Chains A and B, each alone.
Chain A
Amino acid sequence: MAVQETDWRSYLRVGMIAGLIAVSVSLIGMVETFNGRAIIGEYLSLGNLLLYGAIFGGGFVAARQHKGSTASCLAGGLLLGAISGVMLNLLVLAGTPRVAGGDPFLRQYLLNVNNNLLAILLSGLPQPSGSLALLGISSLMGMLGAAIDRVTPRFRRPLLVSLGVVLLVGLLSEVVILAWGVRGLGLLVRRLLFARKGLSLPGAVVLFLIVFALHLAWTAFSPKLKAWTARAPERRRKQLYRGKAAIGIIFLLFLPFFLRTYLTEVVDNVGLYVLMGLGLNIVVGYAGLLDLGYVAFFAIGAYTMGVLTSQADLGIAQMSFWSALPFSVMAAVLAGIILGVPVLRMRGDYLAIVTLGFGEIIRILVLSDALAPFIGGAQGILKIPKAQIGDFRFVTPESLYYLILIGCLIAVFLTWRLRDSRLGRQWMAMREDEDVAEAMGINLVSTKLLAFGIGAAFSGLSGAIFATKLSSIFPHSFNLLISINVLCLIIVGGMGSIPGVVVGALVLVGLPELLREFAEYRLLMYGALLIVMMIARPEGFWPSAVRRRELRGDEEPIPEPSSAAAGD
């Protein structure tokens, strides 16, 4: 009986928290802004998803902790949803205008409480039925969330994955249609699956079923495949690995033809961040030096490129992109080492603050009038020429894509080779424990400076390409937020993991570029993401093996070598 009571209380608590989250996202305007993005025709928008997502997730979480029967679990979910629904209704009540036609009561304090928001909350229905609908949908969502937990595990994963795919496709439907749905086969698929905005309802169902079936088939098939590759001889496995790599490279080479101009532009931006991410990954992920002023090197690379190549008054050498490129990278490396020397003795959080200070100093200096005669101050540097090979100029996003791709591939190759080199192992030893590393004969000075220098080099390269890509640079492009973006993406991807950087950049840079609505709330979501990742999955989505053990070290014992386990 006592257990039962605490269980109800946990549903109550989670319900209140979920309700609070739903009310908060409404108050800060996310629901209204995101409502413009349809996922399934007029039935489901991103705003709805955000509003009810918390309740749905809450139901799932609460049911997870609940050990009782399925019926009581569903009832709990219903209760949880109802509580959230009541809280949302309170918000509706507080936001309803006292005088008909006037502004809502709360409006004078909070910008986002307006008739639009109320209409979304009430599903566009008139008052009494609207409130009931809100309550009903919330309760249903809480119950559905709880129900998901009780689905047999065999089906739960495919269910969630296909739900996720449907939502993602619906979310990106505008982009998908623009890129592929204009003619031929694409147009046919578009007619079948998509409505004017978002997926059509039958389309969503069909897509869901297809993905669900595919996933089931894959779970049935993949163990066999794994067993087969495990049995295959070493030579064959190597061939398989090379084959995969070759397919990957070919895919990357032909990506722009497949993506069309707009998406290629997005991928270009992702690529620049991948470059920076790989650099910061060396500094933070391998060497364990938390650098918050990383944007400084990006700025130095870009400004060196600008000053050396610009055709405007500020340009001093009118060099070509290719001859200026080594100078850009070298300038960044030099800056990395110069800024690295004073902080050699510093650790952890002090290092973070000092590098943050460096980043801000450089930004303010670039912006100031004192240096304006040399680097343009707030007016920036204009007329930076495009890169050129013979007569071919890298102007279109497609051609720039190849430039960035080459940069990224070089960076990936270098990082990958460095990771297992003597230097890479020194970095990791230093990350684990500086004193022990020093006692083992590692020269901390050169190891740290190399980390700063190489990390800065990638960032400088990225900055140089950035400058030629935009043809002009302004101080405002180099603020602290870039450092935070890069830090976020390597944390989300997984510190010290190369594929993690790419995944992180795709999610954190690519997705917001595709969804304009994200712009305003990008940093809010980054902040929340950082907290959630650190608490729930500190090793990132695509972790390196070492990092996972390290960050989970306090919770899980490090797995014993298999021979020891067999000995038990």
Chain B
Amino acid sequence: MRQRLESISFIDIILWLFRTLIIVAVIWGTVATIFNNPYSAENWIDFLVFGIAQGSLYALIALGYMLVYGILFMINFAHGEFFMSGVFTATVFVADPLNQIGFLNAHPILALIIITLVAMAVSMGIALLTERVAYRPLRRAPRLVPLITAIGASFFWQYFFRGLYGSGVHAFPTVDALKGNLTIAGIEILKTQVVVIVASVLLLIALYIFVMRTKTGKAIRAVAEDKDVAALMGIDVDRTIAITFATGAAMAGAAGILYALLFRQVHFFMGFVPGIKAFTAAVLGGIGSVPGAALGGLFLGVFESVGPSLFLEGLGITASYQLKDVIAFTMLVLVLIFRPQGIIGERLAEEKA
């Protein structure tokens, strides 16, 4: 018993040192950067706004992880591919042709709505198919098994769409109406960023209402609480799970279009990194609540956008923008190690493991 206590405290000390080290590094870097002051205030605001736009995308994608994890306690590794499939298909089959015939610039709002709906529909279709084929037969299998099929599904879809549309980067057509800046409260913001932020907020609110106020949303929450009891209450569990997947995928599909507006390109590998980052966001916010996912996404987006310049440059690291992803992954690791319940979430990981 004594030995056990000692070994645990030893690990605790190491973790504690690790944490201190990182906090010291962050503070050191921040202070050094502020002293040197290589950027102007406008630069910082740009970083911040870009971070918020990107973060709201992460939040949208994170919802899918959160919903599925809430119900099945499974990391849907293929969620990033749902995100990619919708926007890729919509770009190739809808956005490009609409752009060619001039419809996109003649009626930008209508065209973007059509494109988004197509992307959402494709994402939902792919999600439903994946759920039916790769996840449903394994409902009662050990937990590692569906995770492995999810990894398989992720790679399958990536290379499926690569085969379908090619391995090159497709340009998402530019929308003339969204060119240029908008001045809000004296700050110049890119119009696309405004659209992304506003649309994300609207979608998040819509999803919140869907989950909290509708009967289907109630069913989803009931199944998340206890599948067997929910089945006894007359809820079709399989159907509810499928709806959950579809809802998350629809959000991911919409996020895909917003992503394409922001970065103006789509390719078959585009789902992977945003997928993992969105998962980070979901964990960060505390898996299990819509506001948590939103908060986690925003937090991660801002951190990632401001971080390289703020923490790393002060430490004298060259080309810090290359390490943007390292910040996101480090955050993922840190959150999972030190606060698996997230910022405002409940502690799910251990009790349900």
Given the known interface contacts A368-B322, A524-B155, A550-B142, the answer about A353 and B163 at a Cβ–Cβ threshold of 8 Å is no
A357 touches B144 (CB 8 A): no
B160 touches A28 (CB 8 A): yes
Q: Which of B29-37, B174-182, B250-258, B323-331 contacts A (4 or more CB under 8 A)?
A: B323-331
**A554 CA to B141 CA, complexed, in Å:** 7
B209 at the interface (CB under 8 A from A): no
Residue of A370, A524, A529 touching B163 (CB-CB under 8 A): A524
Give every chain B residue within 8 A of A27 (Cβ-Cβ): 163-164
B160 touches A524 (CB 8 A): yes
A348 touches B138 (CB 8 A): no
Query: Chain B's nearest CB lies how many Å from the CB of A114?
Result: 13
B7 at the interface (CB under 8 A from A): yes
Give every chain B residue within 8 A of A526 (Cβ-Cβ): 152, 155
Give every chain A residue within 8 A of B320 (Cβ-Cβ): 370
**A538 CA to B155 CA, complexed, in Å:** 18
Residues B123-160 near A (CB distance < 8 A):
133-134, 137-138, 140-149, 151-160
Q: Which residue of A lies closest to B130 (CB)?
A: A531
Given the known interface contacts A111-B165, A484-B151, A531-B149, the answer about A353 and B11 at a Cβ–Cβ threshold of 8 Å is no
B325 touches A364 (CB 8 A): yes
B15 at the interface (CB under 8 A from A): yes
B336 touches A358 (CB 8 A): no
Query: Chain B's nearest CB lies how many Å from the CB of A286?
Result: 13
What 0/1 readout, one digit per residue, does chain A (528-541) give for beta carbons within 8 Å of chain B? 11110011001000
> How many CB-defined contacts (below 8 Å) exist between A and B?
171
B279 at the interface (CB under 8 A from A): yes
B93 at the interface (CB under 8 A from A): yes
**A360 CA to B333 CA, complexed, in Å:** 11
Give every chain B residue within 8 A of A350 (Cβ-Cβ): 336, 340, 349
B102 at the interface (CB under 8 A from A): no
B322 touches A364 (CB 8 A): yes
B333 touches A524 (CB 8 A): no
B322 touches A534 (CB 8 A): no
Q: Which of A290, A345, A360, A534 has the most CB of B within 10 A?
A: A534
Residue of B152, B337, B350 touching A530 (CB-CB under 8 A): B152
Given the known interface contacts A350-B349, A524-B155, A535-B137, the answer about A369 and B329 at a Cβ–Cβ threshold of 8 Å is no
Label chain A's interface by main secondary structure: helix
**A534 CA to B150 CA, complexed, in Å:** 10
Give every chain B residue within 8 A of A110 (Cβ-Cβ): 164-165
B159 touches A364 (CB 8 A): no
Give every chain A residue within 8 A of B154 (Cβ-Cβ): 527
B332 touches A357 (CB 8 A): yes
Query: Chain B's nearest CB lies how many Å from the CB of A543?
Result: 14
Residue of A356, A357, A358, A527 touching B159 (CB-CB under 8 A): A527
**A481 CA to B319 CA, complexed, in Å:** 26
A347 touches B353 (CB 8 A): yes
B279 touches A527 (CB 8 A): no
Residues B205-222 near A (CB distance < 8 A):
none
What 0/1 readout, one digit per residue, does chain B (7-30) give for beta carbons within 8 Å of chain A? 110010011001000000000000
A369 touches B319 (CB 8 A): yes
Query: Chain B's nearest CB lies how many Å from the CB of A74?
Result: 28
A112 touches B163 (CB 8 A): yes
Give every chain A residue within 8 A of B163 (Cβ-Cβ): 27-30, 112, 520-521, 524
Interface band, chain A = 35 or more
Given the known interface contacts A110-B164, A348-B147, A352-B147, the answer about A343 and B337 at a Cβ–Cβ threshold of 8 Å is yes
B155 touches A527 (CB 8 A): yes
Q: Which residue of A lies closest to B155 (CB)?
A: A527
A365 at the interface (CB under 8 A from B): yes
A409 at the interface (CB under 8 A from B): no
**A341 CA to B162 CA, complexed, in Å:** 38
Query: Chain A's nearest CB lies how many Å from the CB of B265?
Result: 18
B198 at the interface (CB under 8 A from A): no
What 0/1 readout, one digit per residue, does chain A (95-139) give for beta carbons within 8 Å of chain B? 000000000000001111000000000000000000000000000
Residue of A342, A349, A365, A369 touching B15 (CB-CB under 8 A): A342
B40 at the interface (CB under 8 A from A): no
Give every chain A residue within 8 A of B159 (Cβ-Cβ): 521, 523-524, 527
B318 at the interface (CB under 8 A from A): yes
Given the known interface contacts A29-B163, A348-B353, the answer about A358 and B333 at a Cβ–Cβ threshold of 8 Å is yes
**A534 CA to B153 CA, complexed, in Å:** 11
A288 at the interface (CB under 8 A from B): yes
B340 touches A361 (CB 8 A): no
B4 at the interface (CB under 8 A from A): yes
Give every chain B residue within 8 A of A341 (Cβ-Cβ): 11, 14-15
Residue of B73, B146, B158 touching A523 (CB-CB under 8 A): B158
B60 at the interface (CB under 8 A from A): no
A370 touches B318 (CB 8 A): yes
B333 touches A357 (CB 8 A): yes
Query: Chain B's nearest CB lies how many Å from the CB of A200?
Result: 32
Given the known interface contacts A370-B323, A484-B155, the answer about A531 and B134 at a Cβ–Cβ threshold of 8 Å is yes
Residue of B75, B140, B325 touching A352 (CB-CB under 8 A): B75
Give every chain A residue within 8 A of B330 (Cβ-Cβ): 357, 361
B74 at the interface (CB under 8 A from A): yes
**Residues in B lying within 8 Å of A, measured CB to CB:** 3-4, 7-8, 11, 14-15, 18, 73-75, 92-93, 133-134, 137-138, 140-149, 151-160, 162-166, 276, 279, 317-320, 322-323, 325-326, 329-330, 332-333, 336-337, 340, 349-350, 353
Give 14 CB contacts A-B under 8 Å.
A28-B160, A30-B163, A109-B165, A347-B350, A353-B75, A357-B276, A357-B329, A360-B276, A364-B329, A523-B156, A524-B163, A530-B149, A531-B133, A534-B146
**Residues in A lying within 8 Å of B, measured CB to CB:** 24, 27-30, 109-112, 288, 290, 292, 341-350, 352-354, 356-358, 360-361, 364-365, 367-370, 443, 445-446, 484, 487, 491, 520-521, 523-524, 526-531, 534-535, 538, 550-551, 554
Closest 10 CB pairs of A and B: A28-B163, A530-B152, A527-B156, A524-B159, A527-B155, A369-B319, A357-B329, A527-B152, A531-B152, A347-B353
